[in-house]
Amino acid sequence: MRALAFLLAVLLAGCASSPDASYVKDSDTRIQRNGFSLLPPSGKGWMTAPSGQYGARWGKVLSDSKGNRSTVAVMVWSGRFTERKVDLTTPQGLRDTVIYQVTGGSDRYPVRQAKYSDVYRKFGTDCIDADYVAEDRANTMSWNAGVVLLLHVQMTLCRHPSNPEWGFNTSLSDRHPEDSLSLMDDVVQQEARRCLDSIELTPLS
């Protein structure tokens, strides 16, 4: 679970070309994972990325008539931190952990700005939000060669109510060239938020 937020930066880099990726065909049937269930994003053009029993990932590529592109990703995951000792049982520990997730990843994604909420109650447990902007200077998609991208991520980290040593993350990200505006409009945000708002935490097995 190290630097989970930075997995968002590479989600769509492989999603568009991966033979394991497929378009969402049924957005009204709940998906069950270990520790949570949820609905896929609504709307057309969302691709499902492989995620295993502990996660769920979707991506969508947006473009306009001028050739500008934005990539939007939704990621939900439950898991245990294994490579670094963290304390999710206290509010300060939860805050330290989300800061580590945002800033402790690869140097390829330097963070330009970040802000964090206070710890609050959701899903019957403690959660904290992070909203940050990072750079992506080595994106693998052909149309991004040599281009500096901005990655804007809105994420939430919660202590899973079934086990205080397990974290639960949600993320909505948007990535676009530094010299162009994001193409993620209210409609796409609503499609993604419908997925995130449908989340229910379930017992871990």
Which H, E and C letters describe the chain, residue by residue?
A: CCCHHHHHHHHHHHHCCCCCCEECCCCCCCEEECCEEECCCCCCCCEEECCCCCEEEEEEEEECCCCCEEEEEEEEEEEECCCCCCCCCCHHHHHHHHHHHHHCCCCCCCEEEEEECCCEEECCEEEEEEEEEEEECCCCCHHHCCCCEEEEEEEEEEECCCCCCEEEEEEEEEEEECCCCCCCCHHHHHHHHHHHHCCEECCCC
Nearest to 144 by CA among 173, 172, 176, 174: 176
* Distance (Å, whole) CA 56 – CA 123: 18
pLDDT confidence tier of residue 15, bands split at 50, 70 and 90: very low
pLDDT per position as a tens digit, 135-194: 987 666 656 667 788 999 999 999 999 999 999 999 999 999 998 889 999 999 999 999
Sorted by where each begins, the domain ranges of the chain are: 4-201
Q: What is the mean pLDDT of residues 43-67?
A: 92
Global pTM value = 0.87
Q: Higher-confidence residue: 21 or 149?
A: 149
pLDDT per position as a tens digit, 56-109: 999 999 999 988 889 999 999 999 988 778 899 999 999 999 999 998 766 777
4-201 CATH, one of 1.20.272, 3.40.1000, 3.30.70, 1.25.40: 3.40.1000
Instruction: Kindly tell me if the per-residue pLDDT of 2 is higher than 50.
Output: no
pLDDT per position as a tens digit, 113-137: 999 999 999 999 999 999 999 998 7
